[in-house]
Amino acid sequence: MGTQPLKERILIVGAPAFAEDLGGMFLEQGYPTAVLVWDGEPPFALSPDLEAEARSAALALEILPFPIESKQALIALLDERLPPEAPLLSLCLTVSATQVARWTRRPGRVVGFAALPPLTRETPIELAIPLTGDPTALKPAKAYLERIGLRIEVIRDAVGMALPRILCALINEAAFAVMEGIASPEDIDTAMKLGMNYPRGPLEWGDLLGLDLVVAILDALEAEHQNGAYRASPLLRQMVRAGRLGRKTGRGFYVWG
Amino acid sequence: MERVGIVGAGTMGRGIAYVAITHGAQVTLYDVAPGALESAAAQIEAWLREAMGKGRLDEAEAQRARERLRLSTALEDFAQAEVIIEAAPEDLALKQEIFRQLDRACPPDAILASNTSSLSITALGAVTRRPERVGGMHFFNPAPVMRLVEIVRGLATSEETLRALSDLARRWGKTPVLVKDTPGFIVNRVARPFYLEALRLVGESVADPSTVDRLVRALGFRMGPFELMDLIGLDVNLAVSESLYRAFFEEPRFRPHPLQRQMVQAGRLGRKTGRGWYEYP
């Protein structure tokens, strides 16, 4: 009777569905995985689990899109507790990997990644190393994610990475069109699916991502570029204020049952 | 059965004529360019044969469709038409002249529709004495295949006109969506960031075109933005970008990208020139 070689311990901390879905993929491949869920709302109530798990982790994934203060606190704590050689993958949708690296004492271990919820094995993952980072950190990070079956593309570090930028710009334009009353949300999504062969309508996609995340990404892009191209539609802001965030709250551009 | 006039026998006009005659409409297809009507008739015949080959039409249905098509070089032939669909080149002055003539040649209660993708329906309606019966009916290329039709409401277009055009699209097997007369309507406007954001990513050296295309395809899109630009033609894509940017009075979201212009300047227009973002040997 043979024994399985022990696999490295993985630590995943962050937003509920996202962290759990990713954790499930590591568990399926037999990695001892700790998933600690935190939506980023203070108080920071993860210790002592987090501290214990961090000390024994070979790889940590931080998956908190916002708020940024919570993300920074979490990154600093992970950096402090993780073994020095453990790579730290950080979800970079609203900050650059370079910014995340600045919150650590070991920028060389930081790798930024972007993926859009809902996470499945088909979700493409973008990886980027910080400007101050270490290119050799890419290899283990990429290897872990490929071993759980994810598709990886390496890009240069920039706020919003690639797909979140394209998708949020599409959603924003569709939201402007709704705000201006040029067409109904249903007709806009139908038009983009039938006229452009898009796999989903942009507004349906916004509802799936969460409109709070869409606005957070657009705001981060606008703050970075300061050129007006990412100015979020006021309708999106109103919907976030109203709690109409999309599927997760039962209502966004559509009503979700 | 409706009596339909179509102005312009180019790619869109002949495609719309095919859709109409295969769904029971009596069509008068008008063009004055030499050879345009003959070429359109040959294309429509090829489509009919293709549909028969695939079992979508039988011989009798194809024959009835042929008999519903009439070719014309005189707008007077529209004297009995109920709906006219204009599919002339995208030139406002030219289209306005056509609408003036249609207004005189067609019955006063006929609806005048335009297949324009970029011009103002309001500006077309304004040169007629029936702006309430002028609307947009924007088909997508290839018209026999694409299900979407944007029904465009000009400032003066009546509810009745919109309903009639939507019903017509549905009878022809299409899915109509209703949109106000605004630059780019829905599709050409909302799709703009798909190209512009991809160009900005490449322009900022965040990723190269093939990486962006792979990522976008992995998300479920049939084509990435760069291969799609190659298919559409970079010159066409730049023209649409520039026209929207002007139409929105230089709104930053629509600002075209210098890379687009440079590729056009280099003659790398996409598949049609053998090279765009990719090479097509």
Position A119 scores a pLDDT of 85
Query: Which neighbouring-strand residues pair with A112?
Result: A90, A128
Give the span between the Cα atoms of A109 and A112, in whole angstroms. 10
Nearest to B253 among A156, A173, A194 (CB): A173
Helix (H, G, I), strand (E, B) or coil at B84: strand
DSSP category for residue A231: P
Specify the pLDDT at position A3.
54
| Final residue before a domain boundary, out of B180, B202, B225 | B180
A30 pLDDT higher than 90 = yes
What is the CATH number for B99? 3.40.50.720
Contacts of B140 in chain A (CB under 8 A): 194-195
Chain A contact set for B189 (CB, 8 A)? 173, 177
Task: Identify the CA nearest to B143 among candidates A195, A201, A189.
Answer: A195
Q: Show which of B151, B180, B209 is a domain's final residue.
A: B180
Question: What does the DSSP 8-state code read for residue A5?
Answer: P
pLDDT at A16 > cutoff 90: no
Tens of pLDDT, residue by residue over B148-203, are 999 999 999 999 999 999 999 999 999 999 999 999 999 999 999 999 999 999 99
Q: Is the CB of B196 inside 8 Å of chain A's CB atoms?
A: yes
Q: Tell me, what's the pLDDT at A1? A: 44
Shared-domain flag, residues B64 and B147: yes
Give the integer Cα–Cα distance in Å for A98 and A131.
Answer: 6
- Note the pLDDT of residue A43: 74
Q: How many whole angstroms separate alpha carbon A31 and alpha carbon B188?
A: 47
| pLDDT score of A107 | 96
Are B49 and B172 found together in one domain? yes
For A202, the closest of B180, B190, B223 (CB atoms) is B190
The pTM assigned to this predicted structure is 0.95
> Which stretches of A38-84 are assigned E, i.e. beta strand?
59-63
A148 touching B, CB under 8 A? Answer: no
Say if residues A195 and B232 touch (Cβ distance below 8 Å): no
Q: Are residues B101 and B38 in the same domain?
A: yes
Contacts of B2 (CB under 8 A, 6+ apart): B24, B25, B26, B82, B83, B168, B171
Task: Considering only the beta carbons, identify the residue of B196, B220, B252 that sits closest to A199.
Answer: B220
Please report, for the domain that includes residue B243, its CATH number: 1.10.1040.50
Q: Tell me which chain B residues have a C-beta less than 8 angstroms from the C-beta of A231.
A: 252-253
| CB within 8 Å: B190 and A191 | yes
Rg (CA), chain B: 20
Q: Residue B141: inside a domain, yes or no?
A: yes
Å between A36 CA and nearest CA of chain B: 27
CA distance B265 to A9: 55
**Residue to substitute from B174, B197, B202, interface A, most A β-carbons within 10 A:** B197
Q: Does B138 participate in catalysis according to the annotation? A: yes
Q: How many domains does chain B have?
A: 2
- Complete DSSP assignment for A197-217: --SS-HHHHHHHH-HHHHHHH
Domain interval for residue B234:
191-273
Kindly state the DSSP code that residue B82 receives in the 8-state scheme: S
Q: How far is B170 from chain A (nearest CA, A)?
A: 14
Residue type for position A254: Y
Chain centre distance of CA A183: 31
Contact A155 B206 (CB under 8 A): yes
Number of helices (H), then strands (E), belonging to chain B: the values are: 12, 8
Q: How confident is the model at residue A2 (pLDDT cuts 50, 70, 90)?
A: very low
Of B117, B70, B111, nearest to B89 by C-alpha is B117
- Please indicate whether, in this complex, the C-beta atoms of A195 and B223 are within 8 angstroms of each other: no
Q: Give domain status of residue B104, yes or no.
A: yes
B179 in contact with A, Cβ within 8 Å: yes
The backbone torsions φ and ψ at residue B3, rounded to the nearest 5 degrees and listed phi first, read: -100, 120
Cα of B37 vs its chain's centroid, Å:
18
Query: Given an 8 Å threshold on Cβ–Cβ distance, is A173 in contact with B193?
Result: yes
Where do the domains of chain A lie, and which CATH numbers do they carry? 10-154 (3.40.50.720), 163-249 (1.10.1040.10)
- Pick from B180, B205, B238: which residue ends a domain? B180
Shared domain check, B119 and B47: yes
Classify burial at B11, counting beta carbons within 10 Å of its beta carbon; exposed 0-12, middle 13-18, buried 19 or more.
middle
ipTM above 0.90, yes or no: yes
pLDDT at residue A245 greater than cutoff 90: yes
Rounded Cα gap, residues B48 and B144, in angstroms: 11
